[in-house]
Amino acid sequence: MRIGIDARLYRSSIAGIGRYSQNLIKNLLEIDSDNQYILFMTPEDEEEFRNLKLEIRNSNFVTKIVDIPHYSLVEQTKFPKIIEQEKIDLMHFLNFNYPVSYKGKFIVTIHDLTLFFYPGRSKKSLIYKIGYKYIMGRACKNAAEIIAVSEATKKDIMRVFKTPSKKIKVVYEAADDKIFTKPSPEVIDSLKKRYAIGDKPVVLYVGQWRPHKNLLGLINAFNIVKEKTPVKLAIIGKVDPAYLEVISAIDKAVTLGDIIMPGFVTEEELSCWYKIASVFVFPSFYEGFGLPGLEAMMAGTPVISSDRTSLPEIYKDGAIYFNPFKIKDMADKIKEVIIDERLRLELVEKANMIVTQYSWRKTAQETLEIYKNSLKS
């Protein structure tokens, strides 16, 4: 069968969906030699796909370059015709936004309903809200099946869009082990010198600057910890100048230089930061899966996390939890993990067992089963 995959969010700079796209496609192409895959990619995605030089045994795929950005008018008007020209038997849209005029059989992956609950600065307009809800609602109604990345996301889809439970299959993501090559002591020392870390414990955050990420809460909690404990906070991710209140809070932090902002880093540097960190903190109000915390676990970094939405489902007993709306609770948990070495070792040991329950190969196998069932029906 000819299976199309909308891989226009393949590139690494797209954060979580980029990781999902890269790892799902790589593993699907490795395990399935029966079906033909057509990967629809923008020029930027196709360039990264080529540059990764993946060693894939099967050659049953082609890339189709489509210079059509996500969330655009041409996505709705031109993309369906391009897909139809390829005579696709089943199309997989790796994110909720699909062209609503597409009439072929398709499945859709819904990672979360973040834009529904926390639209952010650039997506608060009434027109955007109506469009978002309309397109996701149509995706839920017209898809042959829906992939949700957690039970929490599945419940949100059922509640908001009244979608029957049997139509939604939960397929978990996994941590990407390719970024956890062990960095040399020289590389780690160089990074520590660059940011004047010395022997201070490092609290690590990896993610976007969005309202639901609760960065302000983390900075305020860090300030409480800093009053009595010498510690630094590293915020990894693209700096967003739209969030002036976060920048202002960083400027007002206890001691200049105690909050480090490397911005968007390479995978090699990210691996170093996970190794340097004494604790990884995930302060979100809402997450569909919470991939960075799982990556931290795989890297051997103790994790403390918000107790909301999917996070306890994914991290289980491999993390310590706090109420993200209570700053002191977050600060107390950070101090506890930094001070108590036995607790850190215990968390790492439990986390090692948790991460073995997730793998991208398993994600691909379960996704392939959904393809097969959809093609039969």
Instruction: Judge if 181 and 155 occupy the same domain.
Output: no
Distance CA 21, CA 109 (A): 10
* Same structural domain, 211 and 327: yes
Q: Domain total for the chain? A: 2
Q: Is the same domain home to 249 and 296?
A: yes
Q: List, in sequence order, every residue forming a beta bridge with 286; answer none if it has no partner.
A: none
314 and 351 fall within a common domain: yes
**344 with 301, same domain?**
yes
- Shared-domain flag, residues 237 and 333: yes
What is the predicted pLDDT for the residue at 29? 94
CATH number of the domain to which 302 belongs:
3.40.50.2000
Give the pLDDT confidence score for residue 180 in this predicted structure: 65
The whole-model pTM stands at 0.93
CA distance 260 to 233: 6
Would you state the pLDDT for residue 253? Answer: 72
Its domain, for residue 130, covers 2-174+359-376
CA distances to 45, 106, 179, 264 from 49, rounded to whole Å, are: 6, 23, 16, 19
Can you give the pLDDT at residue 128? Answer: 75
302 and 363 fall within a common domain: no
Identify whether residues 368 and 343 lie together within a single domain: no
165 shares its domain with 184: no
Full pLDDT tens readout for the chain, 377 residues: 999 999 999 987 777 899 999 999 999 999 999 999 999 999 999 999 988 777 777 789 999 999 998 888 899 999 999 999 999 999 999 999 999 999 999 999 999 999 888 887 655 667 777 888 999 999 999 999 999 999 999 999 999 999 999 999 999 999 877 666 678 888 889 999 999 998 999 999 999 888 899 999 999 999 999 998 899 999 999 888 888 888 888 887 756 679 999 998 888 888 899 999 999 999 999 999 999 999 999 999 999 999 999 999 999 999 999 999 999 999 999 999 999 999 999 999 999 999 999 999 999 999 999 999 998 87
Whether residues 217 and 151 fall in one domain: no
Contacts of 79-85 with CB under 8 Å at 24 or more apart are 79/40, 82/40, 83/4, 83/40
Same domain, 198 and 62: no
Residue 262 shares a structural domain with residue 364: no
C-alpha to C-alpha distances, 269 to 176, 190, 236, 237, nearest whole angstrom: 14, 11, 10, 12
